[in-house]
Amino acid sequence: MRETKIYGYIRVSSRDQNEERQMIALTEVGVPGKNIFIDKQSGKDFERRQYKRLLRKLDQDSVLYVKSIDRLGRNYGDLNEQWRVITKEKKADIVVLDMPILDTRREKNLMGTFISDIVLSLLSYVAENERVNIRQRQAEGIAAARARGVQFGRKPVPLPDNFKEIYQMWRTKEISTYEAACACQMPLSTFKYKASRYQEQ
- Tally of helices (H runs) and strands (E runs) in the chain: 8, 4
* Euclidean distance between CA atoms 125 and 119, whole angstroms: 10
Options 13, 42, 68, 121, the catalytic residue: 13
Q: Give the residue, 72 or 43, on which the prediction is more confident.
A: 72
| Burial (Cβ within 10 Å: 0-12, 13-18, ≥19) of residue 74 | buried
Q: According to the model, what pLDDT value does residue 198 have?
A: 80
pTM of full prediction above 0.75: no
13 in active site: yes
Q: Which ranges constitute the DSSP H helices of the chain?
A: 20-28, 49-57, 69-72, 76-84, 110-147, 163-171, 177-183, 188-200
First to last CA, the chain: 81
DSSP summary character for residue 158: P
- In this prediction, residue 55 carries a pLDDT of 93
Share of the chain above pLDDT 70, in %: 82
Tell me the pLDDT band of 111, cut-offs 50, 70 and 90.
low
Average pLDDT over the chain, rounded to an integer? 82
Answer yes or no: is pLDDT of 197 > 70.
Answer: yes
Q: Express each pLDDT in 83-100 by its tens digit.
A: 888 888 898 999 989 888
Distance CA 156, CA 194 (A): 11
